Amino acid sequence: MSDDLSRLTSSAYSQALEVIAAVEPRIAEATRQELADQRASLKLIASENYASPAVLMTMGTWFSDKYAEGTVGHRFYAGCQNVDTVESLAAEHARELFGAEYAYVQPHSGIDANLVAFWSILAHRVESPALERIGAKNVSELTEADWESLRKELGNQRLLGMSLDAGGHLTHGFRPNISGKMFHQQQYGTDPVTGLLDYDAVAAKAREFKPLVLVAGYSAYPRRVDFAKMREIADEVGATLMVDMAHFAGLVAGKVFTGDEDPVPHAHVVTTTTHKSLRGPRGGMVLATEEYAPSVDRGCPMVLGGPLSHVMAAKAVALAEARQDSFRTYAQKVADNAQSLAQGFLSRGANLVTGGTDNHLVLLDVSSFGLTGRQAESALLDAGVVTNRNSVPNDPNGAWYTSGVRLGTPALTTRGFGHDEFDRVAELIVDVLANTQPGTTKAGGPSKASYVLGDGVADKVKSASAEMLDKHPLYPGLELS
């Protein structure tokens, strides 16, 4: 930020906090404290980032007060001319940035975007042909008997997605999630030896299962995906290819993933969050081909109610930022830094799932330290290192305790961390884990949750981190009065 912008940002936030404090001082205080805490911690959560002050400020306006159900130029409420401006601009930036034929920017989150996508695919592939057969234009024309058979047909579809413990997301057909209930689902995993996606195995499963929807994309897979291959598999079995790029949208936007690794030219429907590597406001988005656009465009009323117009405005600002050359530099650094982090672990003898990374995250297998993911996550947090525990493929400790820790580079790269810092981060993490012992249960057996962190380790790591964090301040120049 330039000095002028820092000064403006500092006074804007200081004054905003005074306004808030006049009503509920504890919220103003918690907001100040959150900034202080984020500034003081080594944020390695792969799904988090730091949005710019422009993006954050855009969310705090009167657009929040406006109802705008419907689509641009076709609203169920009066007075939506400014929301129309906001939504059109956000969609235009998204189309241009990703080279997409169509963009829908209303979803409130990644999960919402996936629900919109699932129901759009069902509407396009199942409902519309059924209506045509019956000779109806609209579901309102159906008789009770027609409805009954349409419901059966809609509820009898198959989805094939990546399993949670291989790195997929719970919305990709995980049983307890609605995606695992609204579809008959099967999951593909990764190769048990290499940990890599095995496209032949995915193809074999698809041939046997014949899904309506093939979902690609992940939350915890440290490698790139060949979306051209996934599309070939989908085409062979007549499936719609849906790619959920929630985690790596920033790498697509920043042209680190191009050609076969760019999902947009290959998928029928692409969903994403806007707040992870893309560095925008919390929210979701759906990109689609012309063919799927009309059904995605009916996200409201199909799945959504009123859009969050203030967040759509912030999406437009963030997407405008992502179209600048500086975002490409950022995205490349995110990937380069993940290499540095991975090398930092490997050179110190730690185990990484798949043996490394070629995206923005690494999955550290902590079993060689004799720890569960839960113990590792907690011990690291004591030392000021914020991560999240994560299953590894075929995890012996299940989805709660886990055997892994997932680490990502997007947030600290935004702060300006580079190769040396990420190498040092790996060193500090290995130091914490090597000095952590599993605790014992009340009955005296080994605990999967409690742990004992060696004396002085937390303080040593905290002061080493503080040195790096001070060198790369979060929101440089932003000072609250």
Ligand X SMILES: *Cc1c(COP(=O)(O)O)cnc(C)c1O
Residues forming the active site: 67, 69, 244, 273, 276, 282
Choice between 242 and 469, CB closer to ligand X: 242
For residue 207, how many other CB atoms are within 10 A of its CB? 11
In the complex with ligand X, which residue's Cβ is closer, 47 or 340?
A: 47
Nearer to ligand X among residue 48 and residue 153 (C-beta): 48
Residue 110 · residue 215 · CB < 8 Å: no
Q: Which of 9, 10, 47, 391 binds ligand X (CB under 6 A)?
A: 47
Smallest separation (angstroms) from ligand X to the CB of 476:
28
Q: How far is the CB of 458 from ligand X (least distance, A)?
A: 29
**Cβ–Cβ < 8 Å for 475, 53:** yes
Query: For ligand X, which is the closer residue by CB, 223 or 462?
Result: 223
Task: Round to whole Å and give the CA distance between 404 and 367.
Answer: 8
Q: Which of residues 391-450 bind ligand X (CB under 6 A)?
A: none
Cα–Cα dist 258/265, whole Å: 10
Among residues 384, 375, 380, 344, the alpha carbon closest in space to that of 362 is found at 344
What minimum distance in Å lies between the beta carbon of 431 and ligand X? Answer: 29
**Pairing mode of beta strands 240-244, 269-273:** parallel
The pattern of x and - marking residues 97 through 136 that bind ligand X according to CB under 6 A reads ------------xxx--x----------------------
Amino acid at 370: G
Non-local CB neighbours of 350 within 8 Å, separated by 6+ positions: 364, 365, 368, 426, 430, 433
Rule CB under 6 A: which of 153-172 touch ligand X? 169, 171
DSSP letters spanning 246-264 = TTTHHHHHTTSS-GGG-ST
Is residue 247 at the binding interface for ligand X, with CB under 6 A as the rule?
A: yes
Burial 306-332 (b: 16+ CB within 10 A, else e): bbbbbbbbbbbbbbbbbeeeebeebbe
Question: Cβ 385 to ligand X, closest distance in Å?
Answer: 21
Name which of 244 and 261 has its Cβ closer to ligand X: 244
For the bound state, the minimum distance from the C-beta of residue 316 to ligand X, rounded and expressed in Å, comes to 18
| Candidate list 106, 120, 187, 273; residue touching ligand X; CB under 6 A | 273
Size of the site for ligand X (CB under 6 A): 14
Residue ranges binding ligand X (CB under 6 A):
47, 109-111, 114, 169, 171, 217, 219, 244, 246-247, 273, 284
